[in-house]
Amino acid sequence: MKYSQPNKLQAVILDWAGTVVDFGSFAPTQIFVEAFKEFGIEVSLEESRGPMGMGKWDHIRTLCNVPEIAERYREKFGRTPTDDDVTAIYERFMPLQIEKIAVHSGIIPGALESIQILRDKGLKIGTCSGYPKIVMDKVVELAEKNGYSPDCVVATDEVPNGRPYPAQSLQNVISLGISDVAACVKVDDTWPGILEGRSAGMWTVALTCSGNALGLTYEEYKNLDKAQLDKERQRIQKIFEGSKPHYLIDTIAELPQVIEDINLRLSKGELPQCS
């Protein structure tokens, strides 16, 4: 039997917060701030955004490794944070996240329309997130009420390793019955999510303005003047540089045009691993 590379896309694997829901990715970031505060540790919203895209325990561990945050913890408790301390913060984070997830559950403008265009082209819609399943169940429930029901959902604790490892995207490939990873696109607003897609051998699309990197509400984003927006795009492009996304766009509203371009490249024999 001879290998035949795909000539068109079969699936899009979408992130959740900052990609399809929660413009600005406020739900997870704000809760990190609140969880640390309950232990008497001040963490800014900007600091909490740093490792966004990782699984939430790993995110907290990474924050605790930041020298400034570790020093605040040492001043409070006389030691730098251990894994047990990380788990204690995580266990406080979880109920706060579940309690407040609905506050930031709105569908990002243009998302439903773009997803419908992709479905009309025959693409399956997979998803994954840095949220664990107990939170994802709530996120999915809220999204369904707002008209969004993907074909597959994979939470970070349903695979051996979360982002930036490829396991969640690859589980989507298996569950959706996709024949080739090169026929998939991973769409995400964080560098760990783009690394996930790259490591899985997929096309990757980084969202520069709807998620964690810009960190603004939709109204704030729309009110930025052109010069400021261009400056922010350049700053965010540098954040994504190391993860090597194939495309950078503002929001998921622009995704259908990217899908057309990828299909054209596939038809010419191009593969994501070669670019």
Q: Which of 63, 80, 103 is the last residue of a domain?
A: 103
Token pair recorded at residue 100 = 């407040």
Q: Are residues 154 and 89 in the same domain?
A: no
- Give the helix/strand (H/E) hosting 248: strand 247-249
Q: Are residues 15 and 71 in the same domain?
A: no
Residues 144, 53 share a domain: no
Average pLDDT for the chain: 94
Pair 197, 238 in one domain? yes
Last residue of a domain, one of 81, 103, 125: 103
The SS3 assignment for 80 reads coil
Could you tell me if 55 and 76 lie in one domain?
yes
- Asked if 131 and 32 count as a contact pair (C-beta separation under 8 A), the reply is no
In a shared domain, residues 44 and 117: no
Instruction: Give the domain CATH number at 120.
Output: 3.40.50.1000
Which residues are known catalytic residues? Answer: 15, 56
Q: What is the DSSP letter of 202?
A: -
| pLDDT tens figures, 53-111 | 778 899 999 999 999 999 999 999 999 999 999 999 999 988 888 888 888 889 999 99
**pLDDT score for 56:** 87
> Do 44 and 167 share a domain, yes or no?
no
Does residue 118 sit in the same domain as residue 93? no
**pLDDT tier for residue 49 given thresholds of 50, 70 and 90:** confident
* 178 and 122 Cβ atoms separated by less than 8 Å: no
Per the structure, the complete domain to which residue 18 belongs is given by 11-26+106-274
Residue 136's pLDDT is what? 93
Residues 48 and 166 in one domain: no
